[in-house]
Amino acid sequence: MKMGFLNVYKRDMTRFFRFKHQLFSSLLQPALWLGFFGMAMAGNFDRILSSTGTAVPAGVMSVDYLTFMCAGVIAATILFTNIYGGFILLFDKNWGILREIIASPMPRRDLITGIAMSGITKSWIQSLIVILFGLLLGVSFFSGKGPLEILISFAGIFIFIALFAMAFICISAFIALKMDSPEGFQGISTLLTMPLFFVSNALYPATGLPPVLQQVAMINPLTHLTAGIRYFAIGDNFSAIGMQFVYTPGEILISLLYLAFFAGIMFLLAWRTVDKVVIT
Amino acid sequence: MNNENIIEVSGLSHSYDDLRAVDNISFRVKKGEIFSFLGPNGAGKSTAINVLITLLPLQKGEVFIAGHNLSSSPKYVRDSIGIVFQEITLDRDMTVRETLEFHGNLYSMGRDEIGSRIEELLGLVELSDKKDILTKNLSGGMKRRLEIARGLMTRPKVLFLDEPTIGLDPQTRRKTWDYLRMVNDEGTTIFLTTHYMDEADILSDWISIIDHGRIIASGTPEDLKNSLGEDIICLETADTELAKTAIINYDGIKSITESGEGLVIMTDRDGAQILPEIISGLNRDEITISSVNLKKPSMDDVFMHYTGKELRD
């Protein structure tokens, strides 16, 4: 077998399914978040909106906050999963397993490829569960779509997720290779997630942010991921929280290319780092 | 490259910033032998081994392992060697079988080959009944054995071991030596580093003593010990200086050195015959003897002799 990344991938997935508590919590957490935070916020938004009586333009589908936010929860879940996903490399470094790997004939980039693949797989599983749970809670994804269209929507969502997951697991791998302690890794990762999560359109439209932060949100990959998920899961023209959202295919394509470019750069960064790392 | 030599190293040096950890060493390892680097902690053993196993870059010198040039074809070197690291390097959350499968895949082994090799090796290191146990539930000795099995997965031409019995209890150490001897009997060349005199002495066909990054003596354990002389007599008297001048011209005395409280006398004929002569001579000169000890040179003595100090820890 010349595909060493499959070996890395298999090991990482085995570990993912082996720790039942961790697996359970990682799958349940986003669902609970959607359940509690989402329901509460949805209730409040809907009350405020009904009192102001914002009119929805004719012919535009109106979706509730829960539906709007569900896409953001999926995006955030993937962000969290992957930004911490490179921890395995720190674990391997501290337990010496990275030495076994580095001293083997396997090309080092296979290590990054394998971990990126498992990050993508985990992200797909998680997003699927959040979507299913969301549908149970009344999220109106894929409304008015036939089976084939739903399938296409899923494919679109999964492509966006794969690119984003790859980018952030590579960032995480880079941090893990540079750090010596779990605390340092945790600290840096958490520091990164904060602005990424809040300076985006995941929980609310970015138009509510101060102008400077709006610019930042524009280049935030999370914004583009959320846009992609909303486009495929809700539609290209809908209204939520009293605002109209229009996504043209061109915009979505740009988001996709942006994520692909970003993922490529991050992969190169992680690859370069693992190629140069000296572990004794 | 000589076919008899599986490792050839010439002029190897390695520095960390200003610190020269390995200083221009050259040696060769013959195919099929057990070769030991013996030296105190910090002597440069681990640095040297880490260069040979490609974990550290080759800064200076020429290295051939199993016919491959380390600087131009490190991948082939990696393919030909097995490694057992100084610290335990196992994924605590993988089973014994998974650990070996993962390793086999790292080296692109075929699936069937991996399966049969696992059976074979677990039999050798007596872990066959632990196949599906997570490695964190193995004892220290079992972990070591699993690592030795892992190092042998790919049928390497040379197995490198860095301090293979560090932290193991005496019984497990002996067991580990037995396994290594068995592995060696099956044709694998073994390169090990150790700071244990007994380990080097018992296991090795060839020892290179290394200190401050340099090889200071090399030979078979027997040759190294014999080079000190036939026997060693340790003598403590009331007056070390007087005693030294009194016995320095006795027949069969190779060297006399002052050490701590007394004298260390190396003989080049049977010490048991010389000792009575020394004692009666000192009695005649009325020099009081407070203690006397006759022994065969040990690896400790060899180390003391060449480094001028006890093994640092």
Q: What is the DSSP letter of A246?
A: E
Element (H, E) at B207: strand B206-211
Whether B87 maps to a domain, the answer reads: yes
Q: What is the mean pLDDT of chain A?
A: 91
- Contact between chains at B102 and A11 (C-beta distance less than 8 A): yes
Q: What CATH number should be reported for the domain holding residue B65?
A: 3.40.50.300
- Contact between chains at B94 and A1 (C-beta distance less than 8 A): no
Split into its structural domains, chain B has a count of: 2
The reply to whether B254 and B187 lie within a common domain is no
The reply to whether B111 and B170 lie within a common domain is yes
A197 three-state secondary structure: helix
Whether B154 maps to a domain, the answer reads: yes
pLDDT score for B3: 65
The reply to whether B197 and B128 lie within a common domain is yes
**Residue A169 pLDDT > 50:** yes
Domain that holds residue B186: 5-225
A12 vs A17: CA distance, rounded Å: 9
Residues of chain B with Cβ-Cβ distance to A1 below 8 Å are 105, 108-111
Sign of CA dihedral A7, A8, A11, A13: negative
The reply to whether B87 and B155 lie within a common domain is yes
pLDDT score for A30: 86
- Contact between chains at B108 and A105 (C-beta distance less than 8 A): yes
Whether B310 maps to a domain, the answer reads: no
Contact yes or no for B41/B195 (Cβ under 8 A): yes
Whether B311 maps to a domain, the answer reads: no
Calculate what percentage of chain A has a pLDDT beyond 70. 97
Substitution target from B108, B163, B193 for chain A, most A beta carbons within 10 A: B108
Whether B303 maps to a domain, the answer reads: no
B57 lies within 8 A of chain A by CB:
yes
Element (H, E) at A128: helix A109-137
**Residue A76 pLDDT > 70:** yes
Least Cα distance to B179 among B150, B139, B136 occurs for: B150
Domain ranges of chain A: 60-276
> DSSP of B39-106, one letter per residue?
--TTSSHHHHHHHHTTSS---EEEEEETTEETTT-HHHHHHHEEEE-SS----TTSBHHHHHHHHHHH
At B109-128, the pLDDT tens digits run 999 999 999 999 999 889 99
The reply to whether B13 and B143 lie within a common domain is yes
Cα-Cα-Cα-Cα dihedral of A121, A122, A128, A132, to 10°?
A: 160
Q: How sure is the predictor about A1, in pLDDT bands with cuts at 50, 70 and 90?
A: very low
Walking along chain B (313 residues) 10 residues at a time, the average pLDDT comes out as 83 93 96 94 92 95 96 94 94 96 95 95 92 95 93 94 90 90 93 93 95 94 88 88 84 83 86 88 88 89 78 47
Whether B206 maps to a domain, the answer reads: yes
Q: What CATH number should be reported for the domain holding residue B234?
A: 3.30.70.980
For range A3-31, the mean pLDDT: 91
The reply to whether B158 and B69 lie within a common domain is yes
- Chain B residue with CA closest to A3: the answer is B108
The reply to whether B166 and B275 lie within a common domain is no
The reply to whether B218 and B236 lie within a common domain is no
The reply to whether B141 and B203 lie within a common domain is yes
pLDDT score for A273: 95
Whether B304 maps to a domain, the answer reads: no
The reply to whether B96 and B135 lie within a common domain is yes
Residues of chain A with Cβ-Cβ distance to B144 below 8 Å are none
> DSSP of B169-206, one letter per residue?
-HHHHHHHHHHHHHHHHTT-EEEEEES-HHHHHHH-SE
Domain boundary among B225, B247, B270: B225
pLDDT score for A55: 64
At A123-165, the pLDDT tens digits run 999 999 999 999 998 898 998 889 999 999 999 999 999 999 9
Q: What is the DSSP letter of B137?
A: G
Task: Select from A10, A11, A278 the Cβ nearest to the Cβ of B56.
Answer: A278
pLDDT score for A111: 95
Contact yes or no for B209/B38 (Cβ under 8 A): yes
Contact yes or no for A92/A98 (Cβ under 8 A): yes
The reply to whether B22 and B91 lie within a common domain is yes
Whether B82 maps to a domain, the answer reads: yes
Q: How many CB pairs under 8 A join A and B?
A: 74
Question: Distance, in angstroms, between A274 CA and closest chain B CA?
Answer: 13
The reply to whether B214 and B257 lie within a common domain is no
